[in-house]
Structure 1
Amino acid sequence: MQDTRASQKDAYALILEAIDSHIYKPGDRLVESELAERFGVSRTPIREALQRLETQSLLTRDGRSLIVASLDHSQLSELYVVRGELEGLAARLAARHAAPEEVKVLRDMLEADQKLVGDPKAMSRANRRFHKQIHLASHNRFLVQQLDLVHRSMALLATTSIAAEGRGAETLREHAAIVKAIENGDGDAAYKALRDHISQAFVTRLKLDAEAVEAAE
């Protein structure tokens, strides 16, 4: 029984990671047999993982096939509104509760991430690590759980806003302002800095989407 549960968890995590890293993008069809062969897992846990992902709206039906879901404009706007509020709250709580060691980790991330500017994929991974560290520094397990759900839905975005020209450097400057506010124990400033950061990311994404539509016409 334990081995079965472990396989189910592994299959779910493997598929979710593949979506998050854009190996599978919105609109891509997921086939049980292909996934089982790719990940070296039997078809039963793959099937159960796909059912779980469908329940979470990360996958959707296209006839009899399951495909990676996509977000329309309204869903994207709703997601960013929720993300901004929850991320801002996490920063506010981190300013109150983060241990000095947690702040040092954030500082070390800022320094290390300077070397990644110009590499959107690496910057995107670093960005997720940075935000996750702030979530953990909030010391509120229920908030962390909700933010995990939000970031799971972010995996449905086909591209990262960090790929926009100049956005990598801007992201690091915004991260620095967030860390400074947390380090100073200024909850209001931390909330505002993180909300502004999410807002700018949303603006950048909207511009990228508009450019993609224009290019397709």
Structure 2
Amino acid sequence: MSSESDDRQPRGEVAYRKLLAAIQHGELKPGTRIREVEVAEKFDISRTPVRDAIRRLESDGLLIHVPRQGAVVKELDHREVIELYEIREVLEGTAARYAARHASELEIAELEDLNELMLKSGDDQIKVAEINRMFHQALYRMGNNRYLIDALNSLSNAMALLGGTTLQYDGRPQSAYDEHRDIVENIRAGNGDGADAAARLHIRNAQRLRIKLLREVLHAGVHD
């Protein structure tokens, strides 16, 4: 977010967006204590909007209040991660199915443009992950169902707790690009079954890499 756009937003919203981005990008890892003073200094914002942002993130389920520590980034256990991807597979498959019914050519072109941009972003993991997030947000909107969109946006907040990105693996940006392309092609063809299946496969592949990533982090922690 640019400083110019920051200036046009309430300070509480700026603090919220910056804290959320820090969690999404893995800068604030699960278990990290969030101190108002440190956040205010880091983002050059007064403590009141920071306090409001922390409350919002607690309401979103991204932060929890721990006695004698205060706000802490929530940690997901292995079962919660599995459950998160299971419900994401169902919801994104449904969004892709609905998109095959409702999507305009302009919306489909937006998905294609975002997918190409993601692949061209190369080794910039943060940029690749952000564009990938934009692709999925665009897909949600194309489903044209407000309740489904609300559910998927809520799920996206929970996904932020995973930190980092599976797109860091060699070859994953290319395979994700190919999987996105399959989803888009089925949407353009009006093939709801195919779009659903392609979206579900995409999420299952992401889940497999996420479990691998979590296993590597755990293994590294044991040896540190």
Same fold? TM cut 0.5: yes
Instruction: Choose which of 25, 39, 51 in structure 2 pairs with 1:47.
Output: 51
1:129-181 residue CA offsets vs partner (Å, 9 max, x unmatched): 11011011111122111111101111111221111222111111101100100
**Where does residue 80 of structure 1 map in the other structure?**
85
- What is the match of residue 36 of structure 1? 40
Partner letter of residue 91 of structure 2?
L
For 1:22, the equivalent position in structure 2 comes to 26
Cα deviation for residue 111 of structure 1 reads 2.3
> Which region of structure 1 is more displaced relative to structure 2, 16-25 or 77-86?
16-25
User: Which residue among 113, 126, 139 is the counterpart of 2:118?
Assistant: 113
Normalized against structure 2, the TM-score is what?
A: 0.88
Closer, same or farther: CA 107–35 of 1 in aligned 2, 3 Å = same
- For residues 59-208 of structure 1, the aligned pairs below 5 Å read 59-65=63-69, 66-208=71-213
The 1-side partners of 2:18 and 2:123 are apart by 27
The alignment yields a C-alpha RMSD, in angstroms, of 1.8
Segments of 5+ residues of structure 1 without an aligned counterpart are none
Counterpart CA distance in 2 for 1:154 and 1:178 is: 21
Letter in 1 for 2:203: I
Q: How many residues align?
A: 213
Shifted more, 128-137 versus 17-26: the winner is 17-26
CA contact (8 A) 2:119 2:173 kept: no
TM-score when normalising by structure 1: 0.90
Distance 1:200 1:14 in 2: 29
Distance, in Å, in 2 between the alignment partners of 1:120 and 1:38 is 22
Task: Answer yes or no: is the 8 Å Cα contact 2:60–2:157 preserved in 1.
Answer: no
CA distance in 1, matches of 2:203, 2:96: 12
* Cα separation, 2, equivalents of 1:41 and 1:100: 42
Unaligned stretches of 5+ residues in structure 2 = 1-8
SS at 2:161's partner residue? coil
Contact map agreement 1:95 1:185 (CA 8 A) in 2: yes
Structure 1 pair 112/13, CA: closer, same or farther in 2 (3 Å)? closer
Instruction: Pick closer, same or farther for the CA change 1:214–1:16 going to 2, 3 Å.
Output: closer
CA distance in 1, matches of 2:39, 2:215: 33
> 2:115–2:177: 8 Å Cα contact kept in structure 1?
yes
